[in-house]
Amino acid sequence: MATADIHIAEDTHHDDHEHDHDHSTNFWTHYIFTTDHKMIAKQFLISGIIWALIGGALSVIFRLQLGFPEAQLGWLKPILGEWITAEGKIDPEFYLALVTMHGTIMVFFVLTAGLSGTFSNFLIPLQIGARDMASGFMNMLSYWFFFASSVIMLTSLFIETGPASGGWVIYPPLSALPQAVNGSGLGMTLWLTAMALFIVSTLLGGINYITTVINLRTQGMSFTKLPLTIWAFFLTAIIGLLSFPVLFSAALLLIFDRSFGTSFYLSDIYINGEALPNQGGSPILFQHLFWFLGHPEVYIVLLPALGITSEIIATNSRKPIFGYKAMIGSMLFIAILSFVVWAHHMFVTGMNPFLGSVFMLLTLIIAVPSSVKVFNYLTTLWKGNIRFTTAMLFSIGLVSFFISGGLTGIHLGNAAIDIQLHDTYFVVAHFHLVMGSASFFGMMAGVYHWFPKMFGRMMDAKLGYIHFWLTFVGVYLVFFPMHYIGIAGYPRRYYSFTNFDAFNSFSDLNMLVSIAAILTLAAQFIFLFNFFYSIWRGRKAPANPWQSTTLEWTTPVNPGHGNWPGEIPTVYRWPYDYSKPGAKDDFIPQHIPFSETPESNLDEENDLIKLEGAGSGKSIVIDEK
């Protein structure tokens, strides 16, 4: 694993990396400042796991407050210090900081960096047949910008005035005025700095993913032969590239308002006995800019998970994914629509109601490609020969969450219904299922599925099953009851409901949710044990443990820098030749030419045989035109 063996093949346009084939690596260049996409992927994965634990722990702390409002939390004083009041309660401002940081961490640091960062990096070169990313150096920068961002965000948890506490959406004026809430002081400055670095990291990564997919596909790997994972990562990167700069501009204007006296978002404010001079700004402007990223962000988080799931469900159902082209089409359609639905987060913010009508129409259209995806998953399972690997279980769980959470989107996308449901627990239930849990399950599925390729060893299946069932049941127990709480009108981000008679009737459900949340977090330690134990002591993996068709399984069990020791295989067929009638095995990998499988070829595939001339560049040209 330490030394890579890259041959300079005759076919030079495959080898973009001969210039850096001096691979005498040491600890620093191998594990820390590495340019190997596989190691960078692992760096993102481990960082993501650490962030997920922090984000999960924060949620458990505020669930303690919500589930057990009377409980004495003095025992948390050694960890939380002054944030526990003298009466043994969580400080109300710290409560807001907890929900803010939980949201920020989970959305950006876990489900964007941890998911895209890990699997786009790991799988793009391996599945398209490339030696590495287009720019290994930019890829390395991407991780280290993310690392710097992480350090700053983590630091903000420990400062005296506390981290940002205006909600993960950081709406001004609350986020702009330190006199409105303590977290809008230094905590907010650190938040904005961290996010600026984070955006740089995302853009560096995204440019790389796009370039790599377009330019470095191996011979024969046309866009119509790409696995759905790659399509998902590709579209995700494009969405990110187009929307993250808008968040950057929103953050920049907020920085100006906070530090340089501008009035982009501020107007007519009287606070702490003082009228501020700012006039003419609009808080709604910030919301538009924020959600112009914020909504595509949902798909940045979700599409990679859906791509991973497509791959895993096809492999373990031993069937081709149903409607390959429809799957690509619906992802493309979702990607485009994701840019024109942002204002459905703003129906009751005072935005012009006519805009509300337009965005309601566009939002509900997005349900069509989403439902196509669900039906295609179901049809892929139909008449399969299903192997319940842990990855498969998590993928099925994802589909269930995607359905359950997606359907409530039809309520919320309807402006008239949203009046009552906006900013209640119904919304919390909706997005935690469809975006949070679904994407988290996609990430877990990916880890279990590609662990053998990452570390050359297998994770323990039984522990995986226990982890899945505890998490799956736990997540439903946490988020399903929130629908009822939301229908009853409970607003989100409330520290306590005890001074409302109408909002004080669900202490039983809230307690159930909190207990389920604690158990679900506890169940993740089974995964942690399994993960780290298996890295060093897991069973040695075979070359193709899941009998999959994609290219990454043609590399050695422990691929070095450069991925394939010899030439990169040429691709002849699409990635879903599972259970093909007449074939010897129930899968035919992508690099097997049709000339070797006359028994299973379809008519049009027999015609392709004559194009399979030895190493001819011809087939590429024909495929791509």
Partner 1 sequence: MFEVIIAVGVLLLLVILYTLFRIGTLVNVVKGTDKKIVSTSNKVNAALMMIFLVAGLAFMFWYSWTYFDKYTLPVASEHGMLTDQLFWITTAVTGVVFVLTNVLLFWFSYKYQYKEGVRGKFFPDNTKLEMIWTIVPAIVLVGLVFTGLKAWNDITGEASEDAEVIEVMGYQFAWAARYPGVKDNQLGNYNYQLIDDQSGNLFGIDVTDENSYDDFTPLELHLPKGKEVLLNIRARDVLHSVFLPYQRVKMDAVPGMPTRFKFIATKTTQEMRDETGDPEFNYFLTCTEICGRGHFSMKMTVVVDEIEDYEKWKAEQQTWLKLNPDFLEQIPADKRELAKIKAGIENNELEASF
Using CB under 8 A, count the residues that bind partner 1.
119
- Cβ-in-10-Å burial (0-12, 13-18, 19+) of 187 comes to buried
Tokens, residue 270 = 């009287």
Cis peptide before 581 (omega within 30 of 0): no
Least distance from C-beta 563 to partner 1, angstroms? Answer: 26
Eight-class DSSP state of 84: B
Within residues 87-106, the interface with partner 1 by CB under 8 A covers 92-93, 96
DSSP line for 78-131: HHHGGGB-TTS-B-HHHHHHHHHHHHHIIIIIIIIIIIIIHHHHHHHHHHHT-S
Least distance from C-beta 89 to partner 1, angstroms? Answer: 13
Least distance from C-beta 621 to partner 1, angstroms? Answer: 26
- Nearest CA to 244 among 190, 204, 208, 283? 204
Could you tell me which stretch among 35-43, 146-154, 351-359, 616-624 binds partner 1 (CB under 8 A)?
Answer: 351-359
- Nearest CA to 432 among 404, 391, 392? 404
For partner 1, which residue of 135, 222, 349, 558 counts as binding (CB under 8 A)? Answer: 349
In order of 386, 468, 470, 472, 531, the CA distances from 393 in angstroms are 10, 7, 12, 9, 17
For partner 1, which residue of 581, 604, 614, 621 counts as binding (CB under 8 A)? Answer: 581
Within residues 259-288, the interface with partner 1 by CB under 8 A covers 266-271, 273, 275, 279-284
For partner 1, which residue of 178, 245, 384, 456 counts as binding (CB under 8 A)? Answer: 384
The answer to whether 336 contacts partner 1 (rule: CB under 8 A) is no
Query: CA-CA distance, 403 to 391, in Å (whole number)?
Result: 19
* Interface pattern 138-177 for partner 1 (x via CB under 8 A): ----------------------------xx---x-xx--x
Least distance from C-beta 452 to partner 1, angstroms? Answer: 13
Specify the residue, 273 or 566, whose C-beta has the smaller distance to partner 1: 273
- Nearest CA to 416 among 366, 359, 367? 359
- Nearest CA to 461 among 536, 384, 541, 516? 541
The answer to whether 621 contacts partner 1 (rule: CB under 8 A) is no
Least distance from C-beta 345 to partner 1, angstroms? Answer: 12
The C-alpha torsion from 356 through 361 and 367 to 369, rounded to 10°, is -130
The answer to whether 325 contacts partner 1 (rule: CB under 8 A) is yes
Tokens, residue 114 = 């941890």
Least distance from C-beta 430 to partner 1, angstroms? Answer: 11
Specify the residue, 241 or 473, whose C-beta has the smaller distance to partner 1: 473
For partner 1, which residue of 178, 245, 323, 593 counts as binding (CB under 8 A)? Answer: 323
Could you tell me which stretch among 113-121, 205-213, 349-357, 433-441 binds partner 1 (CB under 8 A)?
Answer: 349-357
Q: Is the dihedral of CA 115, 118, 119, 124 positive or negative?
A: positive
Tokens, residue 185 = 């002081």
Query: CA-CA distance, 95 to 88, in Å (whole number)?
Result: 14
* Interface pattern 390-429 for partner 1 (x via CB under 8 A): ---x--x--xx--xx--xx-xx--xxxx-xxxxxx-----
Least distance from C-beta 536 to partner 1, angstroms? Answer: 14
Residue type, 552: E
Find the radius of gyration of the CA atoms of the chain: 25
The answer to whether 80 contacts partner 1 (rule: CB under 8 A) is no
Least distance from C-beta 484 to partner 1, angstroms? Answer: 4
Specify the residue, 323 or 593, whose C-beta has the smaller distance to partner 1: 323
Within residues 481-540, the interface with partner 1 by CB under 8 A covers 484-485, 487-489, 491-497, 499-502, 505-506, 539
Query: CA-CA distance, 78 to 397, in Å (whole number)?
Result: 38
